[in-house]
Amino acid sequence: MEIRDRIHELRRVKAARLRPHPNNWRVHPKSQQEALRGLLAEIGYADALLARELPDGTLQLIDGHLRAETTPEMEVPVLIVDLDDREAAKLLSLHDPLAGLAETDHDFLAALLQDVETDHDAVQGLLDTMLAAPELPLDDSPPEGLPPEVEIPETFQVVVDCRDPRQQQELYERLSGEGYKCRLLTL
């Protein structure tokens, strides 16, 4: 297997100049925002944001939206990647979930966290949650007391990009008239 290096360069850019990806699907709850502020206050930037350069020269974020929003006036480290629209969408959709597939060795985590100190309440809350949150067993069976998993029926869908709301409505009406179950979405 040949693996390409898609990182073009590392640049320091004022965070406010980074354009959020229009399809960023991640939502950041207040607890995460506060924990990030605390970590940035205690450690600072220790990881680069990820962006791609658009034809007009602007940088579109793929990863790091919350960090950019949290420090808009700061020059932040940004890895510039040479991805097209489809590749950027793929990475945007899979970057965080792929990291989330890692399992936790609770003994190693507990040993590591014995040496971690913080003065920030939100960071301490995150550390406490990490220690207290057992994962599901590897056989994917739910722990006792939880309801059984709900079966979701298989469905087949088509997503169509329309020029404008008028074309969207016309296509919706035509397909609905042909008996298809349709929904209108604007992303």
Hey, where are the domains in the chain? 7-102
Topology at the third CATH level for domain 7-102: 3.90.1530
Tens of pLDDT, residues 42-60: 999 999 999 999 999 999 9
pTM of the model: 0.67
Tens of pLDDT, residues 7-20: 999 999 999 999 99
Element (H, E) at 10: strand 7-14
- Range 99-108 average pLDDT: 87
114-120 contacts, C-beta under 8 A, 24 or more apart: 118/38, 118/42, 119/42, 120/35, 120/37, 120/38, 120/39, 120/41, 120/42
pLDDT classification of 138: cutoffs 50, 70, 90: very low
